[in-house]
Every structure is written in structure tokens, then in C-alpha cells.
Copies of this chain bind each other. A is one copy, B any other.
Amino acid sequence: MKTAARKKTGMAPGSAVYTGTKNTEPVRMHAITFNKDAVTEYECQSVEQLPLCKDQSNVAWIDVCGLHSVSLIEQIGAKYGIHPLTIEDILHVGQRPKIEEFDDYVYVVLWMMYAGADDIVQEQVSFIVTDTCVITLQEQPGDVFDPVRERIRSRKYRINSSQSDYLAYALIDMAVDSYYTVMENVDEIVTDLEERVLVDTSTRVLHDLYQMKRRILQIRRALWPLREVASKLERTETKLVKKATRIYFRDIYDHTIQVIDTVEHYRDLLSGLLDTYLSSASNKMNEVMKVLTIIATLFIPLTFIAGIYGMNFQHMPELSWKYGYLAVWGVMALSAGLMIHYFKRRKWL
């Protein structure tokens, strides 16, 4: 996920400029039109082949994968009457999730998350919801909408007898649900960190804690504005959303709140983990210092005593005492004993 949206500074407003990763693969356009009785599905090679969506008895779902061909997106915009500012937003990858109501359509942009080849992919999806169709625009092929496709094809679910607002709900619901999967992954990593934090004080843990914090901050950033989007979807006054569908949008709102709640929970846990890691590392240090101090304070005086009787003065009466050597051992044992007693009283041993 890009953290700072690169803006095409200095362009006229409504300028269509793609800000994502350049890509040479052809743009895939997939159309499904369906009603209670039939499902038609086909790949479109050009904008002309896209359904016209004038027929109230069908619902059309047009899925565009690939935003790098600016002219193509502009053609689609022209075909369905989409405002230039919306086109700008679609192409401007790195958008903050938002909802905008226009006269003929509602524009929703948010992030979906799914397990990619080797990491979690966070990808921007735009939804254009008119009264007869839903257009979804994403950067790459691969998304979280397959279950919806299956449901439409099976013709067994409510979706086939509903209208574009319900289709929009089903798709947005999938995108919100995708965060649950990511949160499970977060849960696993946090549980793992909870165990390591008290035993392992290497920089590796530190690195993992920071990466986790980073990820949670990014998820948060994608989620917080989503709450507002969901809330607006539920309370919107546009005629596009039917009363019966409204209860489903409330459900999306509930799910968003629930994921946000979970994210905040992990954020608090993580900050607790960092504190624990720091204290634990400092505790380990304490242990090391204690060992050094005990050994050093035990032997330094003894070595001093040994040094005394290693001196070569001609007149050192103790050296010729018969039991001098034994006496020195005695003094040393006494000194060590006193030290150990002191350490015990201090609870260092």
C-alpha cells in the first residue's frame, strides 16, 4: 500500500492522470448482466461492447481490471456520464475512502485486502452505482468478489432478484469482510509476539513490533474513513438505495465498526507489548549487571590481599610467620563470606 498519495501537482482539476504503478498488460473488462431468470457473462474487448444499462429489468455489473490506460477509462466515463472529478479520483490511486453522491450515480472508493502471492495486497476499488448497473474499477486482476460472482451464477440467492443497490451492497460487503481475514493474520502475529517478547530480546522482535505497528496503522487509515462511508450509505437520501436494502447497509456499518474496534484493540495490545519488551530487555540487563557486580566485588578485594603479599619489601614480618599463608586464606574466606552475606541480604543471590 502506498502511504503517501503522489499527487499530479499543477494539473488542471479533473485532469485524468493515473498515479499507480505502470503496467503494460491489457485492461480486462468483464460484464455480467442478470435478473431472476438469466445470467449473461462476457469479456469485452472494447468500450463499445460494454452493456448500455438502459434496461430496468436487468442489473449489470461491469468489472474493469487495470487503470493504466487513461483514455480507456475516459471513454468509459463518457459512455456512462461520469463527472471528470470522479474520473480523476478513480485514476488517482492512493485515495482516502469516500462516498460522493452525484445526480445520476453514487461514487464509492475504498480499499480491499486479500492474500496475494507473498504478502497481503491492499488495492483501491472504485464503485460507480447507477440505478441499473454497478461499475467496479480496480488496478489489477485478482479481487475478493468471486463469492458474489458464484452467487449470481448459481441463481439461488436473493441477489438475482434484487437491483443494483443490493449488488453494490454485496460487493462492498465483500471488501469490508476482507479486513476480517487480515485481522486474523494480525491476531496470529500478535499472539506470536506475545510469547517472544518476554524471552527474546533481539532486535528482530523490535523490527517485527515496528512492522506490526506499521501495518496496523495502515489498516486503520483505510478503515476509519470507511466508517463514515458506511454511515453515509445507510443514511443516504438518494433514490438509488431502496428502503429494503438500507438494513443491509446498516449491517456493513456494523461490520466496519467491529473491525475498527478490533484494530484499536490490537493497537493497544501492541503498545503494551512494546512496553513489556522494553522492560524485559531492561530486566535482562539488570541480571547481567548483577552477575558482573557480584563476581567483581567478590574477587577484587581478594586479589588486592594477594597483591599485598606479592610485594617484595625486605621487611614484611607476615611473610615469615609460620601460619601467615593460612591466615591470609582465612582473611580471604572471611571477606568473601561477608560479601556473600551482604548480597544475600540485598536479595541478589
On A, residues with C-beta under 8 Å from B are 3-7, 9-14, 83, 85, 95-96, 98, 100, 144, 146-147, 151, 157-159, 169-170, 173-174, 177-178, 180-181, 183-184, 186-187, 194, 198, 201-203, 206-207, 209-210, 213-214, 217-218, 221, 225, 247-248, 250-251, 254-255, 257-258, 261-262, 265-266, 268-269, 272-293, 295-297, 299-304, 306-316, 318-325, 328, 346, 348
Contacts and interface: CB of A to CB of B under 8 A. Distances in A.
Given A9-B177, A12-B170, A295-B301, 4 more contacts: A206-B280, A292-B297, A313-B325, A314-B324
Question: Sorted from nearest, which 4 A-B pairs have the closest CB atoms?
Answer: A306-B307, A10-B147, A7-B180, A309-B311
Contact of A325 (B13, B301, B311): B311
Nearest to A98: B254
Contacts of A146: 10
Given A177-B7, A198-B206, A319 B309 contact: no
A325 B320 contact: no
Contact of A272 (B214, B269, B280, B283): B214
A12 B166 CA distance: 12
B9 A178 contact: yes
Contacts of A295: 296-297, 300-301
Contacts of A325: 311, 313, 315-316
A325 B297 CA distance: 25
A203 to B, nearest CB: 5
Contacts of A203: 198, 280, 283
Contacts of A307: 302-303, 306-307, 310
A77 to B, nearest CB: 16
Nearest to A177: B9
B292 A296 contact: yes
A184 B6 contact: yes
25 contacts: A5-B180, A7-B180, A9-B180, A10-B177, A12-B159, A12-B170, A85-B248, A96-B261, A201-B286, A203-B283, A213-B272, A279-B281, A281-B286, A288-B348, A292-B292, A295-B300, A295-B301, A296-B300, A306-B308, A306-B311, A310-B310, A311-B312, A311-B328, A312-B316, A313-B328
A241 to B, nearest CB: 15
Nearest to A157: B12
Contact of A303 (B250, B303, B322): B303
A275 B297 CA distance: 31
B290 A288 contact: yes
Contacts of A85: 247-248, 251
A280 to B, nearest CB: 6
Given A285-B285, A311-B306, A187 B251 contact: no
Contacts of A278: 278-279, 282
A80 B27 CA distance: 50
Nearest to A295: B297
A251 B221 contact: no
A246 to B, nearest CB: 12
Contact of A202 (B261, B268, B283, B308): B283
Contacts of A314: 319-320, 324
